[in-house]
């Protein structure tokens, strides 16, 4: 969906998966600093919004998700995954229950497939699943923000800020009173700095939760059965994941950032060496310079100097080998 905030002064449309909102509003680093200081907001209205209502909503979702949600208190934010039978990540949901309805936002364009799966699993449970993307827009207020939240708006409060499920018709009025607006590139830079993986960016068709550090935050190890649990338990108790997420400091003298999928190799082997992983997200940070997240093979030494294509890359451990 195309955001009305693309009409704001300086707005440059985002491309790719984030199409529909602004990449930036003319000053990427100023927008980052604003968010880091707890001011402004980010338009995430391109994200899908899904609701689940009904008496059985929490107990039913508890059977399907990787997270323990059967006793989720009203107002408490959590996140959860839906896995394939082989334990690969298919969906990531960012949830809050308001006492009557579970609200979730998901990656842009994934809500239809998610809802189709949820509908197929309803059976005799008293639940109703709805796509509310056309009615509600997700807006991010950064950590430390003291901006007022409009009355009646559902809020998902996290350590990284507040996510509002704002009636879509009120988006322009909200922007006028809660600016300055920051684009998705500023939001992504702070996401990478915080080592937070994103579905479709740090994941591919074979990613399991252990590889990107989602055990605990999105996967509860002490709950009952769900699809893919056997893989989660086996890797947790008997083995190690084949890959691990790393944080990269990139050579700041390079003009271009490495694109997603850029091969990673040992610096000592040069650009023709054996591929050990690949870049998932690369950004320019207002303090750290060019940084990235990447997936590498588990046995890559944690102190090894790498190259992303031809760009030097020093790694920091996110997921232990």
Strands 41-44 and 181-182: parallel
pLDDT band at 254 (very low <50, low <70, confident <90, very high): confident
Whole-number pLDDT of residue 116: 98
Whole-number pLDDT of residue 1: 82
Whole-number pLDDT of residue 264: 97
Distance, CA of 184 to CA of 190 (rounded, Å): 10
- 3 state SS for the chain: CCCHHHHCCCCEECCHHHECEEEECCCHHHHHHHHHCCCCEEEECCCEEEEEECCCHHHHHHHHCCCCCCCCCCCCCEEEEEECCCCCEEEEEEEEECCCEEEEEECCCCHHHHHHHHHHCCCCCCCEEEECCCCEEEEEEECCCCCCCCCCCEEEEECCEEEEEEEHHHHHHHHHHHCCEECHHHHHHHHHHCCCCCCCCCCCCCCCHHHHCCECCCECCCCCCCCCHHHHHHHHHHCCCCEEEEEEEECCCCCCCCCCCCEEEEHHHCCCCCCCEEEEEEEEECCCEEEEEEEEECCCCCCCEEEECCEEEEEEECCCC
> Rounded mean pLDDT of the chain?
97
The structure's pTM equals 0.96
Whole-number pLDDT of residue 230: 95
Q: pLDDT at residue 195 above 90? A: yes
Q: pLDDT at residue 22 above 90? A: yes
Q: pLDDT at residue 110 above 90? A: yes
Q: pLDDT at residue 5 above 90? A: yes
Q: pLDDT at residue 229 above 90? A: yes
pLDDT band at 224 (very low <50, low <70, confident <90, very high): confident
Q: pLDDT at residue 257 above 90? A: yes
Q: Which two tokens stand for residue 247?
A: 């944080």
Whole-number pLDDT of residue 272: 85
Whole-number pLDDT of residue 290: 98
pLDDT in tens, 306-321: 999 999 999 999 999 9
Whole-number pLDDT of residue 271: 81
Whole-number pLDDT of residue 270: 85
Whole-number pLDDT of residue 296: 98
Whole-number pLDDT of residue 253: 86
Q: Is 130 exposed, middle or buried (0-12, 13-18, 19+ CB in 10 A)?
A: middle
pLDDT band at 124 (very low <50, low <70, confident <90, very high): very high
pLDDT band at 225 (very low <50, low <70, confident <90, very high): confident
Whole-number pLDDT of residue 255: 85
Distance, CA of 174 to CA of 97 (rounded, Å): 23
Residues 6+ apart with CB under 8 A from 30: none
Q: pLDDT at residue 90 above 90? A: yes
Over range 141-164, report the average pLDDT: 97
Distance, CA of 89 to CA of 83 (rounded, Å): 5
User: Phi, psi at residue 12, to the nearest 5°?
Assistant: -115, 120
Place of tokens 């060496």: 273
pLDDT band at 42 (very low <50, low <70, confident <90, very high): very high
pLDDT in tens, 161-190: 999 999 999 999 999 999 999 999 999 999
Share of the chain above pLDDT 70, in %: 100
Over range 252-273, report the average pLDDT: 92
Spatial contact of 69 and 57, defined as CB atoms under 8 Å apart? no
Whole-number pLDDT of residue 313: 97
Q: pLDDT at residue 292 above 90? A: yes
Whole-number pLDDT of residue 104: 98
Whole-number pLDDT of residue 61: 98
């Amino acid at each position: 969906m195309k955001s009305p905030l693309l009409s704001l002064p300086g707005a440059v449309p985002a491309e790719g998966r984030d199409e529909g909102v602004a990449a930036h509003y003319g000053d990427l680093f100023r927008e980052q600093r604003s968010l880091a200081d707890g001011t402004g907001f980010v338009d995430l209205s391109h994200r899908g919004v899904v609701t689940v209502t009904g008496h059985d909503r929490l107990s039913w979702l508890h059977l399907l998700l990787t997270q323990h949600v059967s006793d989720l208190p009203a107002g408490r934010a959590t996140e959860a995954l839906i896995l394939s039978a082989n334990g690969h990540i298919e969906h990531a949901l960012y949830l809050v229950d308001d006492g009557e309805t579970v609200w979730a936002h998901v990656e842009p364009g994934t809500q239809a497939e998610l809802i189709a799966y949820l509908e197929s699993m309803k059976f005799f449970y008293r639940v109703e699943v709805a796509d509310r993307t056309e009615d509600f827009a997700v807006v991010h207020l950064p950590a430390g923000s003291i901006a007022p939240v409009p009355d009646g708006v559902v809020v998902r409060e996290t350590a990284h800020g507040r996510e509002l499920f704002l009636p879509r018709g009120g988006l322009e009025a909200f922007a006028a009173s809660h600016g300055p607006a920051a684009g998705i590139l500023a939001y992504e830079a702070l996401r990478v700095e915080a080592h937070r993986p994103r579905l479709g960016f740090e994941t591919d068709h074979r990613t399991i939760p252990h590889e990107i550090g989602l055990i605990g935050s999105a996967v509860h190890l002490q709950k009952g059965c769900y699809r893919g649990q056997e893989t989660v338990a086996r890797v947790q108790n008997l083995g190690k994941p084949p890959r691990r997420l790393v944080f990269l400091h990139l050579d700041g003298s390079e003009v271009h950032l490495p694109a997603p999928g850029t091969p990673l190799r040992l610096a000592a082997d040069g650009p023709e060496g054996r591929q050990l992983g690949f870049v998932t997200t690369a950004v320019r940070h207002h303090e750290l310079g060019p940084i990235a997240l990447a997936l590498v093979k588990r046995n890559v030494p944690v102190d090894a100097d790498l190259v992303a294509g031809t760009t030097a890359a020093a790694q920091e451990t996110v997921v232990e080998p």
